[in-house]
Structure 1
Amino acid sequence: MKRITIFDTTLRDGEQAPGASLYPQEKILVARQLERLGVDVIEPGFPISSPGEFAAVQQISRMVQRAEVCGFARAIREDIDSAVRATQDAARRRLHLFISSSQIHLDFQLRKTQREVLQMARDMVAYAKQFVDRIEFSPMDASRTGDEFLCEMVEAVIEEGATIINLPDTVGYSLPAEYGAMFAKVRKLVRGGDKVEYSAHCHNDLGLAVANSLAAIENGATHVEVTVNGVGERTGNCSLEELVMAIATRGDALGIETGIRTEEIYETSRLVSRMMNFPIAFNKPIVGRNAFQHESGIHQDGLLKNRKTYEIMDPAKMGVPRSMIVLGKHSGRHALKHRMSQYGAKLSDAGLDTVYHQFKALADARKHVSDEDLLALVDGVIDGNVSRFALVDLDISKTADSKRVARVAIRDNEADTVTSYSETGDGPVEAVVGAIKQAMPMSITFADLELHSLSSTERANGEAAVTVVCEGETYRGVGIDEDVIEAVAKAFLSACNQAVAAQNAQNGDTKAEKDA
């Protein structure tokens, strides 16, 4: 299996996406996680762009031990000097120089001739070579550069000491066959082209970044430049998680592998999403909310019998904690029964049939069915309550120093009591979660929150999805309400009830084993 080098540019090209800027300390947190993920190269920023950027690149260079650090620079002496200084303490490093090569860029951006640009590329690669052995060179907009000039430029920089040639599809214009052919031509036609490494850098304007990167690999590229969640300018870059899992899933057919620790993918994705305040699309491959969730009854039935019937990857191997079953109007009895078992509810065949028909009618009427709605249906056909705890009342107030105070009343259906709890937090969610935690008989950790509007009107319901961790297991609850804080409270309590039910079932099994 040929090993593909994963070059992560989340902190440089990814951060160039509008609104994605990171503070230096946030960059450092992401860099630490990227090293845990196992990327081979980290491009931590553009040192010349600002003092804060320089400081972040410098600190990351000192911190990172395993991954190679890449200093990014235009083919300008000042840029190179800045990149050299910022990365000088790195255990392993390379410099990445770039200059435009397509005629449209030369005419309207640089306003220089091909001869002038060619000489700049030569001079600056030679200048950088005195500081660093590993020099990566990118002819920007290579995919729209004619073959003759592209080969001439690549040949020139190889003569001056470039060791890695990156052929970027800067504006996401190439088709896979075209992009792959460009690598094949350069490798064949350029003198010394067989003595250097090749890297692919693809943008996703036509949704082809991953496909183009794989085409480059098939034609000799051994480095691929990616970003977490595919973030980047315009529609973004080649997505790290998509490329890595394509290789992991179809590696035998492709004859390639990476060194990425796939179990860190989900946590890395969530961290970058939080730091950049970039939500992840529901249908985003690998890390999107719907990537491993199923509403169709046919699919749910197959999945409950054997996950591989409708999933080509195991989400657990990527650290994805989500339940595969989402209930909606397309769901079947098998999925409904499975969901109820997560709350410890056992329904007779007649009871399941009654709940199933009521659920279908509710799903048609409301489109979105919350856990609270579902449990109310079940409570109507069994004795007692399915869930142990229920939210009776919720009130939020503000203190003089702008803190939030949450007061909740929680019914314990097992003890038949209603108890009030209060907690203070910097925001209403922190306060509410802290108050509800006091009612729980075990330690439960709030792990993740997703908030979404279910409509575009001023009367829109908010949907909250909360993930909690208890005894190493994850549980996910969903709440819907016009008051988004109440939706969060309902979702958190739903997840807590699942954790309590699971622990009770486990304790019951343990007791039965001891009695036996």
Structure 2
Amino acid sequence: MKNYQKYQRGYFMPPCESNRWVKKEYIDKAPVWCSVDLRDGNQALIIPMSLEEKLEFFDLLVKVGFKEIEVGFPAASDTEYEFLRALIEQDRIPDDVTVQVLTQARPHIIEKTFAALEGCKSAVVHLYNSTSLAQREQVFKKPMAEIKALAVEGAEMLRDFAEKTPGNFRFEYSPESFTGTEVEFALDVCNAVIDIWKPTAERPVIINLPATVEMSLPHVYASQIEYISDRLHCRGNVQVSLHPHNDRGTGVADAELGLLAGADRIEGTLFGNGERTGNVDIITLAMNMYCHGVDPGLDFSDMPSIQEVYERVTRMHVYERQPYAGALVFAAFSGSHQDAIAKGMHYREDHDPEHWNVPYLPIDPSDVGRMYEADVIRINSQSGKGGIGYLLEQQFGIDMPPKMREDFGYLIKGISDHEHRELQPKEIYEVFCREYVNVLEPCRVDSVKFTERGGMFAEVGLKVNGVSHPATAVGTGRLDAVSNAIKDSTGIHYTLVNYTEHAMTKGSTSDAMAYVGIINGSGKIVWGAGRHNDIITASVNALVSAINRRDRVE
């Protein structure tokens, strides 16, 4: 990788210290959100959305709660123009939603843009021109003064067209490729535009400072934002907007630090779709605020439905590890993680704490429409007894003793390892029932009668390999009496060491489940389970199941 020597840091630090943002702990309120999925996101798709798909996506953005939505570059193509006209003519834009359109600083493009907006109740007209050193030298071959003049002329044209066009129009200006622009020059251009538009409290101006190409560490971007934010004309009537891309993989960090540095507004896309490595992911950004107890002002409570529409109309795939939305972001395969989550969830049930603080789960999955049973505990060869036991408990009401969970956990891990795949909850339950529950051959008990005779006396209708073995014995309790009768009649040697029971809480309102552990002739503990609507029968079945399983672990 010797070619690193041909690269340099192509960004510009502010001429003075601008780092008050460092002292802020977190973002305490949501910014103004503007979705650019239908413009920036759409132009980055291999197959751009059709008109019908754009309309469906627009409706989704409205449902999520966006109040500002960039709908395209209407002068760039007939498709973009027709989409805007469809929104207006079909009256699909709610009164509290403002559409945004993009335009270059060229007269015929601005004229067509305003023609496309005819009949629109409210719109932001977004003017841009590139200001970076690289663009000035290599693309436009113009000095700073001419680049600034282009922005000024565009601002004047927007002002003049808006004055003669019916409608409520606000203006936005972007010094495109801001991150590669000298900060003082970017400030100078932005202030020249502000001076022409003369913003008021009723009609504020948006100054958008895009990381068109992400070039620096996030703290540099934040310092640039703070420097400009502090020095903009009419700052009280100006919204500082950010439009971060993700070339360095830190688009979310750019946006977060930029908000700490004074920005008021964010332009981004759902799931970060956009040019190259994408735009800032608004879902991640908003949910990061949410997990700090801040209302993001957007509704992602049904993330699976949002993902379904997004994937269908964009033909893009939401990565399984995508923050908050990916199929595996809440999944725990590790045994220690599963055990901690299970214990954390039990703690919540027992203590009902005010705030969410479950290990390994930064937010409650149900807040974004995900289910614990399907999304949190996932079972493969890396899983442990805690997760497997928790899954059976939550989905099927099976609450095994801790040592039995360990025994069953090794069994399930062995199956997953051998078959080299994840096991689904139903499969795990079926293995449990097949291996442990009501294993009544070769030994079975068809009837039991109990009486008090100086202890608990049991008359047991016992069969072994189909042959009756009437058996009686006295014990300290019912199960002990049955156990003694079986041992006396068959000569089988074992020690009863564990017995627990509980009512079934999932899938049935009447059955009981019992668990028995015995130590076999090799000194190893063997487990059995019994299920029945009579607790005594369930207990006897659990004992018999353990006896019948004893040879499996010899």
Q: TM-score surpassing 0.5?
A: yes
Structure 1 position 313 matched with structure 2 position 355: no
Cα deviations by residue, 1:254-292 (Å, 9 ceiling, x for unpaired):
xxx532123144422331122111111111101011111
Cα deviations by residue, 1:226-268 (Å, 9 ceiling, x for unpaired):
100010011101101111011222256xxxx532123144422
Structure 1 position 209 matched with structure 2 position 251: yes
Structure 1 position 338 matched with structure 2 position 385: no
Residue number among 120, 131, 138 corresponding to 1:90 in the alignment: 120
Match runs of 1:388-467 below 5 Å: none
Match runs of 1:2-401 below 5 Å: 2-19=29-46, 21-61=48-88, 62-65=91-94, 66-130=96-160, 131=162, 133-161=169-197, 163-250=205-292, 257-307=295-345, 308-321=358-371, 322-341=374-393, 344=396, 346=398, 355-371=408-424, 374=428, 377-378=431-432, 380-382=434-436
- Return the offset for 1:194: 4.8
Corresponding letter in the other structure for 2:127: L
Task: Identify the range of structure 1 (134-143 vs 310-319) with the bigger mean alpha-carbon deviation.
Answer: 310-319
- The residue number in structure 2 matching 1:480 is none
Provide closer, same or farther for how the CA distance between residues 506 and 107 of structure 1 changes in structure 2, counting only shifts above 3 A: farther
- Return the offset for 1:63: 0.8
Provide closer, same or farther for how the CA distance between residues 269 and 84 of structure 1 changes in structure 2, counting only shifts above 3 A: farther
The whole-number CA distance in structure 1 between the counterparts of 2:511 and 2:121 is 54
Cα deviations by residue, 1:199-224 (Å, 9 ceiling, x for unpaired):
01101111111111112111221101
| Local SS of the residue matching 1:160 | helix
- Return the offset for 1:18: 3.9
The whole-number CA distance in structure 2 between the counterparts of 1:508 and 1:114 is 82
- Return the offset for 1:338: 3.3
Could you tell me whether the CA contact under 8 Å between 2:206 and 2:239 is conserved in 1? Answer: yes
Cα deviations by residue, 1:377-396 (Å, 9 ceiling, x for unpaired):
335414699xxxxxxxxxxx
Q: Which runs of 5+ in 1 are unaligned?
A: 386-500
The whole-number CA distance in structure 2 between the counterparts of 1:72 and 1:508 is 66
- Return the offset for 1:301: 1.8
The whole-number CA distance in structure 1 between the counterparts of 2:287 and 2:30 is 14
Could you tell me whether the CA contact under 8 Å between 1:155 and 1:193 is conserved in 2? Answer: no
Task: Identify the range of structure 1 (232-241 vs 208-217) with the bigger mean alpha-carbon deviation.
Answer: 208-217
- Return the offset for 1:72: 1.2
Cα deviations by residue, 1:452-486 (Å, 9 ceiling, x for unpaired):
xxxxxxxxxxxxxxxxxxxxxxxxxxxxxxxxxxx
- Return the offset for 1:187: 2.6
- Return the offset for 1:64: 1.7
The whole-number CA distance in structure 1 between the counterparts of 2:47 and 2:394 is 38
- Return the offset for 1:317: 1.5
Task: Identify the range of structure 1 (337-346 vs 84-93) with the bigger mean alpha-carbon deviation.
Answer: 337-346
Provide closer, same or farther for how the CA distance between residues 508 and 85 of structure 1 changes in structure 2, counting only shifts above 3 A: farther
The whole-number CA distance in structure 1 between the counterparts of 2:332 and 2:250 is 26
Corresponding letter in the other structure for 1:166: N
Task: Identify the range of structure 1 (106-115 vs 343-352) with the bigger mean alpha-carbon deviation.
Answer: 343-352
Cα deviations by residue, 1:292-325 (Å, 9 ceiling, x for unpaired):
1111222212222324222121222222345211
Task: Identify the range of structure 1 (84-93 vs 237-246) with the bigger mean alpha-carbon deviation.
Answer: 84-93
What RMSD over aligned residues (CA atoms) do the two structures have, in Å? 2.9
Q: Which runs of 5+ in 2 are unaligned?
A: 1-27, 163-167, 200-204, 346-357, 440-503, 513-532, 534-554
The whole-number CA distance in structure 2 between the counterparts of 1:505 and 1:51 is 61
- The residue number in structure 2 matching 1:406 is none
The structure whose Rg is larger is 2
Could you tell me whether the CA contact under 8 Å between 2:287 and 2:296 is conserved in 1? Answer: no
Aligned length: 391
| Local SS of the residue matching 2:277 | coil
Corresponding letter in the other structure for 1:244: A
- The residue number in structure 1 matching 2:348 is none
Provide closer, same or farther for how the CA distance between residues 58 and 194 of structure 1 changes in structure 2, counting only shifts above 3 A: same
Could you tell me whether the CA contact under 8 Å between 1:44 and 1:60 is conserved in 2? Answer: no
- Return the offset for 1:193: 4.2
Could you tell me whether the CA contact under 8 Å between 1:73 and 1:95 is conserved in 2? Answer: yes
The whole-number CA distance in structure 2 between the counterparts of 1:258 and 1:305 is 30
Cα deviations by residue, 1:69-103 (Å, 9 ceiling, x for unpaired):
10111222233233323333333211111110001
Could you tell me whether the CA contact under 8 Å between 1:174 and 1:212 is conserved in 2? Answer: no
The whole-number CA distance in structure 2 between the counterparts of 1:145 and 1:236 is 21
Percent of aligned pairs sharing the same letter = 24
- The residue number in structure 2 matching 1:426 is none
| Local SS of the residue matching 1:42 | strand
The whole-number CA distance in structure 2 between the counterparts of 1:177 and 1:340 is 47
Q: TM-score, normalising length from structure 1?
A: 0.69
Could you tell me whether the CA contact under 8 Å between 2:395 and 2:506 is conserved in 1? Answer: no
Corresponding letter in the other structure for 2:193: V
The whole-number CA distance in structure 1 between the counterparts of 2:195 and 2:100 is 21
